[in-house]
């Protein structure tokens, strides 16, 4: 069953190339990822054999120009890939999402030419990247960070601990935000690129999570890490701008992930409702089941409109921050609601791991939490609306 190619809305209609791309990613997800989903979830570990396949398909460098080994695609295509992967496994989807919308994005937009030549070919062909911003005392207040960067003449020395870092276990390249002078507040925050193997850089505790368990979430610890001066990304003291603008785009990626999750939960429940019989007929013949599935389809379509609109605006270089926040809020809420209601279509079977419903249900919760909580998105939306109507 396909979804996007059949939509008639101008916002959700895909070009032929976009349709073929999304279908190819969906086929890959079903055939290569699908058989491993339960085992990865139970072991809380990515099957490392999937990473070379994702790199080979170009899924880890979708927007990166071909001269750097990327696919030379659009931001919208990144969102289509994230959505398509999430229909099978939201955990694998977020690995692709962080690589494209956060890490690669930073190098494409803010790195100098030498940094791009050095790191982008690695990020598109073999190396996973990690985006290291959050600390124990700076979550929603991201710029209350304690990580320090000390200028020692011919190099920087980084100290601090980051938490909840996606892809950290598998990553070889880390974009780390640290403050060069806490007295400057957010104006001291600077972005640095670190590499696995640097003395003093280590990946710490891996978190045990409710959902998206195959995606690693770990501490990243800097203990007197010596960082070359040429490893500063962008301008010194402008890391706050890099972080904010990157996360604005990343939120569309999370919205795409939640959209794909909802679609996957919906399609699984619809298939089950056609097969499962009670009282001598398929349960899809019962009005209660019909109404539940119809509501889910309606919410998913509304979420798709918001997500695709935000992504199209970004590619068109138009303002998209408000629309990105709206897409993330609505898609996250839709994923949670749809995953819950579709689980009930399965009845008792929805509560056991043999069927995909319970995993979609667990995976959905993170959408309201990471890359900006729902309340932070609401605050952003109000601020922009208030300015718009003055």
Bridge-based pairing state of the strands 277-278 and 281-282: antiparallel
DSSP-based three-state secondary structure for 211: coil
Q: Do residues 160 and 191 touch, judged by C-beta distance below 8 A? A: no
Which residues participate in catalysis according to the annotation?
371
Q: How far apart are CA 341 and CA 295, in angstroms?
A: 9
Residue 284 CA from chain centroid, whole number? 33
Q: What does each C-alpha distance from 70 to 51, 67, 153, 298 come to in angstroms?
A: 15, 7, 35, 36
Dihedral sign computed on CA atoms, order 101, 106, 108, 109: positive
Q: Which residue has the tokens 């974009």?
A: 175
Residue 339 makes CB contacts below 8 A (sequence gap 6+) with: 261, 262, 265, 357, 360, 361, 363, 364
Q: How far apart are CA 319 and CA 316, in angstroms?
A: 9
Q: What does each C-alpha distance from 10 to 14, 77, 101, 297, 315 come to in angstroms?
A: 8, 16, 24, 18, 16
Q: Do residues 72 and 246 touch, judged by C-beta distance below 8 A? A: no
């Amino acid at each position: 069953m396909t979804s996007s190619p059949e939509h008639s809305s101008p916002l959700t209609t895909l070009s032929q190339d976009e349709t073929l791309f999304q279908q190819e990613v969906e086929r890959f997800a079903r055939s290569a990822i699908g058989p491993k989903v339960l085992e990865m979830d139970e072991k809380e570990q990515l099957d490392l054999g999937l990473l070379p396949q994702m790199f080979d398909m170009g899924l880890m460098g979708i927007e990166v120009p071909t001269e750097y080994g990327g696919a030379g695609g659009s931001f919208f295509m990144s969102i289509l890939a994230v959505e398509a992967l999430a229909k099978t496994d939201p955990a694998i989807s977020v690995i692709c999402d962080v690589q494209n919308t956060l890490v690669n994005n930073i190098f494409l937009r803010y790195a100098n030419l030498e940094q791009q030549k050095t790191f982008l070919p690695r990020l598109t062909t073999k190396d996973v990247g990690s985006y290291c911003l959050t600390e124990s005392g700076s979550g929603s207040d991201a710029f209350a960070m304690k990580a320090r960067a000390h200028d020692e003449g011919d190099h920087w020395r980084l100290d601090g601990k980051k938490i909840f870092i996606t892809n950290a276990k598998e990553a070889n390249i880390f974009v780390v935000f640290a403050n060069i002078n806490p007295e400057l507040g957010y104006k001291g925050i600077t972005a640095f690129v670190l590499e696995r193997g640097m003395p003093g850089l280590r990946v710490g505790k891996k978190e045990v999570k409710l959902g998206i368990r195959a995606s690693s979430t770990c501490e990243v610890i800097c203990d007197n890490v010596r960082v070359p001066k040429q490893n500063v990304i962008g301008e010194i003291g402008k890391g706050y701008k890099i972080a904010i603008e990157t996360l604005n785009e990343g939120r569309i990626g999370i919205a795409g992930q939640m959209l794909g999750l909802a679609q996957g939960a919906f399609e699984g429940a619809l298939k089950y409702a056609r097969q499962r019989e009670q009282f001598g007929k398929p349960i899809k013949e019962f009005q209660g089941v019909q109404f539940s599935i119809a509501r889910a389809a309606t919410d998913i379509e509304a979420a798709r409109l918001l997500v695709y609109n935000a992504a199209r605006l970004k590619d068109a270089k138009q303002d998209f921050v408000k629309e990105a926040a709206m897409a993330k809020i609505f898609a996250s809420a839709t994923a949670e609601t749809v995953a819950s209601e579709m689980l009930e279509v399965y009845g008792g079977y929805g509560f056991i791991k043999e069927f995909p419903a319970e995993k979609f249900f667990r995976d959905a919760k993170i959408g309201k939490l990471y890359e900006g909580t729902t309340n932070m998105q609401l605050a952003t939306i109000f601020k922009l609306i208030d300015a718009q109507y003055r």
